[in-house]
Amino acid sequence: MGSVSLKIGDGTARFRRATLCSSALHVVMLVSVLTTNLFALYAFTYAPSSGSSPGAGLQHQILSQEHSKNLSLISEHVSLIVREIESSQKKLTQIERELLGYETLDVSKPNVPPELKLFLGRHPLPLGRDSRTGITEMVSSVGHSCARAVDLLALYMTYKPGGQCPEDASLAQKLVSRGCEPLPRRRCLSKPVAKPGLLPLPESLWKPVSEKIVGKWNGFDRQMWVKPRGKNDFLIDDVLALGGGIRVGFDIGGEAGNFAARMAEKNVTIVSSVLNVGGPVSDFVAARGLFPLFLTAGQRFPFYDSVFDLVHTVNGMDEGSVGVTRPEKMEFFMFDIDRVLRPGGLFWLDNYYCADEKKKAALTALIEKFGYKKLKWVVGEKVDASASGKKVYLSAVLQKPARG
């Protein structure tokens, strides 16, 4: 039985690999113990019927002595069997829990909805071990941090299977922002949102979205990346001219999809990570004909290595989303950006707000560790009307090196 221990953040998630083999082994052990003992029992109790013969009295005495000796032996064996059964039962319970494989999320608790148990239950592959992947069973996953929000998760998984889902988008958002990501799948129908007045591309990019879809919410910014407000604002045309062959990109914290829309005008496909914070942002982005990826910054990007020509972020590295106050958190984030970016690809850090000189220095040092080529690097100050005084912003376009 293998045990893999992952150190994640401040908690330790433990996943036990309990194969069907090992549980089968235990069952075989149990059966063999039982049969051995039953044979012994049979041997002890079986006495050949003997006819009466001379000296039967003495023989009888010896026999009854032997008999009582044998009886105590038998009772010893029986109690041994009982103990053996008890310990096997304990082992079976343990195996059951290990088969479910969730040590931090105790799904055996009574208040866990059956839907959650069903979803997390493992399913052996019908044809046994798959030779390509090496797996023997299908495992559904749920974020390990869900264990810290079990009550919310239980609420989320309480619904009528096959019926309408409860209207609980805010509950899902709450769970996701607590790191409970991915969420479990559900067997209920989400409330259909009518999408009237959808336009074809490229008209859809900048035309108002029907109020039936987004209400009064509106996230258009028609100025960014085409009409600079300061030296920290780079033009899309200028950046595209820097690195050849920008076709696919990832906008972390892409909000209303304005960056993706501007890029779409240049025939560049951008996936924007979007949360419905403060409005129906995903609906808005999708209505524009753009790609809203419902994902927090806390999760590993769901993309393979070196797939993007461009990674862009305005707010993606904010205090709350990545936890930049802890330098290691920032490193995890930067390494993941580096991972999904292809060699020669561009990382566009757009108007990154540096709270103080120390923070700027830390970020600069981190970026320099990666050996990116600084194609653009502008540290600017902006007068903030709401806050007192000036704020320092860093904008940069960095090119990933080939490395080796």
Positions touching ligand NAG (CB under 6 A) are 44, 47, 63, 66-67, 70, 266-267
Structure tokens at 279: 């409005």
Closest CB 13 distance from ligand NAG, rounded Å: 46
Closest CB to ligand NAG among 67 and 129? Answer: 67
67/339 with CB nearer ligand NAG: 67
| Alpha carbons 145 and 175: distance in angstroms, whole number | 9
Looking at the Cβ atoms of 63 and 85, the one nearer to ligand NAG is 63
CB nearer to ligand NAG: pick between 66 and 76: 66
> Based on CB atoms, which residue is closest to ligand NAG, 85 or 240?
240
Q: How far is the CB of 207 from ligand NAG (least distance, A)?
A: 19
Q: How far is the CB of 198 from ligand NAG (least distance, A)?
A: 21
Nearest approach in angstroms of CB 267 to ligand NAG is: 4
Cβ proximity to ligand NAG: between 66 and 384 the closer is 66
Q: Which is nearer to ligand NAG, 264 or 367 (CB)?
A: 264
Q: Least distance (Å) from ligand NAG to the CB of residue 47? A: 4
Q: Which is nearer to ligand NAG, 66 or 106 (CB)?
A: 66
Q: HEC states along the chain?
A: CEEEEEEECCEEEEEEECCHHHHHHHHHHHHHHHHHHHHHHHHHHCCCCCCCCCCHHHHHHHHHHHHHHHHHHHHHHHHHHHHHHHHHHHHHHHHHHHHHCCCCCCCCCCCCCHHHHHHHCCEECCCCCCCCCCCCEECCCCCHHHHHHHHHHHHHCCCCCCCECCCCHHHHHHHHHCCCCCCCCCCCECCCCCCCCCCCCCHHHCCCCCHHHHCCCCCCCCCCCCCCCCCCCCCHHHHHHHCCCCCEEEEECCCCCHHHHHHHHCCCEEEEEECCCCCCHHHHHHHCCCEEEECCCCCCCCCCCCCEEEEEECCCCCHHHHCCCCHHHHHHHHHHHHHHEEEEEEEEEEEEEECCHHHHHHHHHHHHHCCCEEEEEEEEEEECCCCCCEEEEEEEEEECCCCC
User: Cβ of residue 66: shortest distance to ligand NAG, in angstroms?
Assistant: 4
CB of 224 to ligand NAG, least distance (A): 18
The β-bridge relationship of strands 390-399 and 341-354 is antiparallel
User: Would you say 46 or 304 has its CB closer to ligand NAG?
Assistant: 46
Q: How far is the CB of 33 from ligand NAG (least distance, A)?
A: 20
To ligand NAG, the closest distance from the beta carbon of 63 in angstroms equals 5
